Structure 1
Amino acid sequence: MSKTTTRSNNPDFASLVPNVTFTRRAFVITMLGAGFALATQPVMAETVIKTSAEGLVAGEIKVPVSDGEMVAYRAQPDKGDNFSVILVVSEIFGVHEHIADICRRLAKLGYMAIAPELFARYGDPRKISGIQDILANIVSKVPDAQVMSDLDACEAWAKDHGGDMHRLAITGFCWGGRITWLYAAHNPNLKAAVAWYGRLGGVVSELTPRQPLDLAAQLKAPVLGLYGGQDQGIPLDDVEAMRAAIRKAGGKSEIHVYPDAPHAFNADYRPSYRKDAAEDGWKRMQAWLKKNGM
């Protein structure tokens, strides 16, 4: 198979993830389905938040990327234009119903929200029942550099479809929370970012050459990090190290910890959901976005 190099329009792309090439591959996911990912079953129906699409333009779009078209979910008000744009990055479960609902919630606030299926080349995590299988067979194969390029492509799509590129933000959850930190160090056009319980440290590799802790001094937009004090996967030592690194760099980013909350406390469809922390985090996110020009 031939090889192609993924590039970005942003000038710092090469410095963030240098000398990376990717094998061209077909897109496994070419359309989005309804419902929740298999690995999250049974869904906690009594706490699931369901946001209507009434008054919105909401549904699947195709985003041109370096090697084809990537499917994504978009939601925005059905009237007006020149919307502030928020990129929404999923957990390891991909763009399933919870992420689509997050987009609709943001659209109800007046934003154009775009959630790209960033695993589209590697497999459909929504159809895999085992979390370890998702991590080993899909997530571990996704290069950070490719993700940065795909998110840049979503920015370009928004620019061509009524988005205001002077007001661009990103938010992400779990795997997407880590990506949120990376993108804040990558894209100089970004105004604000909100990372929900995204991993901060870890082993580096060719595909994941730097972690958020390595990039605290390179953040180009202020990041609000929202973390759970009882998160078994993200050590509080890492959270405090990130907080210290941000302060040392003199940046405007902040971290808030909910002492009694576990990982995925905003995932209203899972047992990890904590209503008080989730609602407070949503309010903090809205305030953060407004404070930073969104």
Structure 2
Amino acid sequence: MKKITRREFITTATLATGFALAVQPISAKTITTDAKGLVAGAVRIPVKDGEIPAYRAAPATGENFPTILVVQEIFGVHEHIQDVTRRFAQMGYLAIAPELFVRQGDVSKLSSIDEIRPIVAKVPDAQALADLDATADWAVKSAKGNPNQLGITGFCWGGRMTWLYAAHNPKVKAGVAWYGRLVGESTPLTPRHPVDVASTLNAPVLGLYGGKDTGIPLSTVEQMRGVLRQTSTKGVTSCSSQSEIVVYPDAPHAFFADYRPSYRKSEAEDGWKRLQAWFKQYGV
């Protein structure tokens, strides 16, 4: 059998259909957003070593759309993440969720989180940031995106990446990070974490966290808040000092994930309202 090269794999990889195997069974509370009035479906994003799949949703008519990059959980760009892009599109956005783990493997086909974690652990931050850059470029060149109205949001793994990307790309206007890890060990693949870049954000970020998140201690949330506060004591308004963190005291991790038992309707709806106001406030 001919060995498939890395470039051939990411060029031939396809987007997940349905929900990831590891998140079965699916909750009856799952929100489904239809594609009426939208252009929605799989696309391919050119990157430096081939192409990666992504899910794109946008209004069927119009152009110069404000653009939102939607960054996946560790379960990949499965149906929940695709639905989130359609929610944005129904509000008039061009929303794109690139499959950022594709070089390392197809996590949607794995049946347990213990199988998924080693795959995700191999994803270099530099690779993910470069793929998000490529997606933002594609939005402008190929999907009628407005280059001056770029926002980003992400969940869990994607929440951490939202903070990092806000410090990476000066074109980002605003970000909303949902329960993304804030501190961690510096490694060759993950050299910096949100707390390390908190003072150098290019865009204000709204962080949405659960007070009963067993994986993200409140002490690390307070540590992040402390760094953000320090940037506002110098008498100069910065994107870091404009950033905020909201903690929902009784919410667990993944409280926005309506397809999982962790979903908390009131906190999820409040967070979504805050997200919309945040993007509007900062011009996305």
**TM > 0.5:** yes
Q: Distance in 2 between matches of 1:283 and 1:189?
A: 24
Q: Distance in 2 between matches of 1:112 and 1:247?
A: 33
For residues 262-277 of structure 1, what are the structure 2 equivalents within 5 Å? Answer: 262-277=252-267
Q: Decide which moves more: 30-39 or 72-81.
A: 30-39
Report the counterpart of residue 252 of structure 1 in structure 2.
242
Post-superposition offset of 1:229: 0.1
**What whole-Å deviation, never above 9, does each CA across 1:11-64 have from its counterpart, x for those lacking one?**
xxxxxxxxxxxx9654356211321001100111x2000000000000000000
Matched residue SS, 2:242: coil
Q: Distance in 2 between matches of 1:33 and 1:208?
A: 26
Report the counterpart of residue 86 of structure 2 in structure 1.
104
Report the counterpart of residue 133 of structure 2 in structure 1.
152
Within the alignment, does 1:287 sit opposite 2:277 as a pair? yes
Report the counterpart of residue 235 of structure 2 in structure 1.
none
Report the counterpart of residue 20 of structure 1 in structure 2.
none
Within the alignment, does 1:170 sit opposite 2:152 as a pair? yes
Q: Distance in 1 between matches of 2:212 and 2:138?
A: 38
In structure 2, what residue type is equivalent to 1:140?
A: A
**What whole-Å deviation, never above 9, does each CA across 1:53-82 have from its counterpart, x for those lacking one?**
000000000000000001000000001000
Within the alignment, does 1:130 sit opposite 2:120 as a pair? no
Post-superposition offset of 1:246: 0.6
Q: Distance in 2 between matches of 1:27 and 1:289?
A: 36
Within the alignment, does 1:220 sit opposite 2:220 as a pair? no
Q: Distance in 2 between matches of 1:24 and 1:123?
A: 10
Q: Distance in 1 between matches of 2:33 and 2:243?
A: 30
Q: Distance in 1 between matches of 2:256 and 2:83?
A: 12
Q: Distance in 2 between matches of 1:108 and 1:134?
A: 31
Contact 1:89 1:176 in 2 (8 A): yes
Within the alignment, does 1:42 sit opposite 2:25 as a pair? yes
Q: Size of the alignment, in residue pairs?
A: 270
Report the counterpart of residue 231 of structure 1 in structure 2.
213
* Root mean square deviation of aligned Cα: 1.1
**What whole-Å deviation, never above 9, does each CA across 1:113-165 have from its counterpart, x for those lacking one?**
000000011111110011021011x1011000011100000011011121001
Contact 1:184 1:223 in 2 (8 A): yes
Contact 2:160 2:181 in 1 (8 A): yes
TM-score normalised by structure 1 residue count: 0.90
Within the alignment, does 1:63 sit opposite 2:45 as a pair? yes
User: Of 73, 94, 100, which aligns to 1:91?
Assistant: 73
Report the counterpart of residue 18 of structure 1 in structure 2.
none
Contact 1:26 1:121 in 2 (8 A): no
TM-score normalised by structure 2 residue count: 0.93
Contact 2:7 2:50 in 1 (8 A): no
Within the alignment, does 1:32 sit opposite 2:15 as a pair? yes
Identity %: 63
Q: Distance in 2 between matches of 1:258 and 1:26?
A: 44
In structure 2, what residue type is equivalent to 1:181?
A: W
